Amino acid sequence: MPAAPVRPSVTDALLVLEGLLLRGGQRTARRNAWTAVLEDRRRAKDRHEAEHVLEAVSTGASQAT
């Protein structure tokens, strides 16, 4: 029985397309921008958790975070 052909994933196809359309500098800039977005999301999550802790401390209640 012949083996099924290997199909590239969507991620693989997008990476190939990115490589064709975006040259080194643009690709690096895009990657840096995405890293900044992820870091902003992490900081927002940390800030949100800190707000909950401060609210719990200020009200004297013990709330799970």
Report residue 11 as tokens.
């991620």
Taking the C-alpha atoms of residue 7 and residue 10, their distance in angstroms, rounded to an integer, is: 9
**In this predicted structure, what is the pLDDT of residue 16?**
84
CB atoms within 10 A of CB 57: 11
**In this predicted structure, what is the pLDDT of residue 61?**
60
Q: What is the pLDDT of residues 31-64, one digit of tens each?
A: 899 999 999 999 999 999 999 999 999 987 655 5
**Residue 37 vs residues 17, 32, 40, 41, 65: alpha-carbon distances, Å:** 22, 9, 5, 6, 24
**Residue 24 vs residues 19, 21, 34, 49: alpha-carbon distances, Å:** 8, 10, 15, 38
- What is the pTM assigned to this prediction? 0.52
